[in-house]
Each structure stands twice: as C-alpha cells, then as structure tokens.
Amino acid sequence: MNSRSRQDAIVRSLRRNGMTTIAELAADVGASRRTIIRDIAALRDEGFVIDTEPGRGGGLSLDPQTIQTTARLSVAEVFALIIGISAMRAAGNLPFSSLADKGLSKIEKALPSDKVRDLRRMLGCLYVGPLAPQVDLSSLGEMDPALLSAFETAFLEGFFLQFQYRDAKGIETTRQVEPQAMLILPPLWYLVAWDPSREDFRHFRMDRIRVPEYVEGQSFRRRFVPFDDGVRPIRIV
C-alpha cells in the first residue's frame, strides 16, 4: 500500500471509529507505529484537523468539520479539472464560467504549498486554440486514463515519456520523447513533445497513445515550443 492509499485508509478509519489509538490504526492499515505517526503529520500538513486526547480512553480523532470541508485532491486531479473547464470554454460550451473559476481558485488555495508550485508548473505547459475545420474526427477515441498521471511525473521530474502510438494510418510505434506541453484543440487533445529520434517537435494525439509510462534515468530540459497563431496559454483567474 502506497502512502496515499494508506493515508486515505487512516482517514476512513478515523471517520468510522471516532477516537482511535495509534496502535489500532497501525493494525487497521497494516503499518508500523512510526509510519502511522508520519502519516498523521502529513495529513495535518494537508489541512486535516486531527485532535489528540491524552490518557486512558484517549487517542486520535478527526474533527467533523474536516470531513465536510477538506478535499484531498492531487495535482493531476486539479489539473484535470482545469483542462476540462478550459476545453469547454474554448469550445464555447461553459455556462457559469465565473463560478467555475471561483471554485478552482478555492481548490487551489486549499492545496499545500508544494502542490501549488507543481500545479503552477503544470499550468505553464497548457495551451488552447481552435481546431482546423478540415481535421477528420471520425476516428476520435478515448484517452488512456494513465496518461495524465504519467505526463505529470515525467513533466515535473524531467523524465522521458514512453508510449505506444498509433498514427493516422493505423501504424503503431514505440516512442520515447521529452514532454514539453499539452495542447487542447477541442475536441482533440495533443501531447507536444520533442522527439530526439527525429530532432524536432511532434504533436501526438492523446487518444492514440497507449501504455504511457515515465522513464527514470534520462532527463531533459524545457524548450521553447513554437505554436501557430491563435494558440494561447491557459490563464486561470
């Protein structure tokens, strides 16, 4: 069980059992006392109000207000919300856009400072523009759900991204690239990457990418990405 899953299990246990000891939490989630103490500290850093009651009959308890108001969202989850809203806005199909922006602003303020920094870096690679009318949309498919998480890690850590890609002719190849940006041309989404094997930028339709994974051990530098007229960076109020 990774730290995120374990911490989610701790929150569920506290919500279910009320007052709980560290020993009981350790037994419940299958971790050591030291790990539980470290996870409790991490949860408090994220905004969870976890009270400590000393003495016999005491232990840890989760403040009820925390259950109602704290949303544990990852950078990738918030980024997914932003790009979804941005795509709808670019397509002219976003009612109540000012309310959506206010909601996103509140979510961002609830994030820990390190996640805010990562989110801002991710937003710096997000662009939107109009789709050319002659583009064929007949083969539009669904995106691999693992792609956004793999892109996040590769982009933030400077790792190469590897995946299987099927081009417009149906030919499949294995690609290993430097992820530089994400481009939304509603309803199409593109991974914009530097391809070392071709020594040039390539736009990969994200619905044609399969089995994405980041590759540790090889790093890359950010590059200036040239875009056509009409493409602009995403700006969130």
Q: Phi-psi region for residue 84, left (φ > 0), alpha (ψ -120 to 50) or beta? A: alpha
Output the pLDDT for position 78.
81
Average pLDDT, the chain: 85
- Give CA–CA dist 166/173, Å, rounded: 7
Q: Which of 115-119, 123-127, 198-202 has the highest mean pLDDT?
A: 198-202
Bridge-based pairing of strands 59-62 and 188-195 is unpaired
- pLDDT, tens digit, 9 for 90 and up, residues 21-45: 999 999 998 999 999 999 998 888 7
Q: Whole-angstrom Cα distance, residue 64 to residue 70?
A: 10
Q: What pLDDT band is residue 68 in, cutting at 50, 70 and 90? A: very low
Q: Residue 165 is inside which H or E element, if any? A: strand 159-166
pLDDT given at position 164: 98
> What's residue 83's pLDDT?
77
Q: Mean of the pLDDT values across residues 195-214?
A: 96
pLDDT at residue 69 tops 70: no
- Torsion from C-alpha of 58, 60, 63, 69, nearest 10 degrees: -170
pLDDT above 70 (res 198): yes
Question: 237 vs 195, which has greater pLDDT?
Answer: 195
The structural domains of the chain, ordered by start, are 3-69 (1.10.10.10), 75-233 (no CATH)
pLDDT at 91 exceeding the cut of 70: no
pTM of the model: 0.66
Work out the pLDDT band at 98, boundaries 50, 70, 90. confident
Q: Which residue did the predictor score with more confidence, 4 or 168?
A: 168
pLDDT tens digits, one per residue of 134-193: 888 888 999 998 999 899 999 999 999 999 999 989 999 999 999 999 999 988 999 999
